[in-house]
Amino acid sequence: MFGDKRVSVVFPAYNEESHIRRAVEDFFSSGVVDEVIVVDNNSRDATAREAGLTAARVVTEAKQGYGHALQRGLREASGDLVILAEPDGTFVGRDVLKLLAYSDDFDMVCGTRTTRELIWEQANMGWFLRVGNLVVAKLLQVLHDGPSLTDCGCTLRLVHRGAFLVIRERLTVGGSHFLPEMLILALKARLRVIEVPVNYRGRVGESKITGTLAGAVKTGTRMIALIVRHRLTS
């Protein structure tokens, strides 16, 4: 609980058996998380079994894709405040307290992985990704009249359940560029949004989205196209 509000954490999970249990335990150890939902997105390993050995609730999302998994978790979550995260070791459970600290004043609190002092040595955040994240975020900020943004693709973020209900029916992206759409729709709905720095560690295994240069470029291109398209159709 945070004050009188229940807190849920959502983990989208695809082949995360090596770290899923530690991730669940880490976020529960923050002392404020009431519920962790692991969304097994057709994993080919023992992700679901490993998650089932924890206090997390495991659900299956048959539609393949990062965005589909996150949307399923958001719909399943029972908390007043819902936090999206990754189960791959990149995020620190105690950073939920940073997001919660702003939750009374904002409808959505987004993490940013671009603060140099909080990027761990093993993190997949070289100069190319840092600059790319900044450029895409600034494009979104300018075209959609957003607050100061440096990383619109950071999974670690908090959204009030009521705020999610406002944008839920307008979500369309099931792939890796889901997070910018979530942010754009929040801004279009005049929801209050802020960005705060969070820790970013080295992940266990290889990123399915930005683990290669080609993957990073593909994701960035999709994000830019989404940002521009929403601006032209608003």
Mean predicted lDDT score pLDDT of the chain: 94
Residue 75: C-alpha distances to residues 29, 131, 167, 212 (Å): 24, 33, 12, 31
Q: CA 136, 141, 143, 144: dihedral to nearest 10 degrees?
A: 130
Amino acid at 10: V
Cβ atoms of 161 and 82 within 8 Å: the answer is yes
| pLDDT per residue as tens digits for the range 142-188 | 999 999 999 999 999 999 999 999 999 999 999 999 999 999 999 99
* Residue that wins the pLDDT comparison between 30 and 122: 30
* Residue 149 φ/ψ region, left for φ over 0, alpha for ψ in the -120 to 50 degree band, beta for the rest: beta
* Distance (Å, whole) CA 111 – CA 194: 9
* Distance (Å, whole) CA 101 – CA 158: 11
**Hey, is 42 helix, strand or coil?**
coil
pTM of the model: 0.94
> Is the predicted pLDDT of residue 20 greater than 80, yes or no?
yes
* Distance (Å, whole) CA 25 – CA 21: 6
7-233 is a CATH 3.40.50.2300 domain = no
| pLDDT per residue as tens digits for the range 102-142 | 999 999 999 999 999 999 988 878 888 889 999 999 999 99
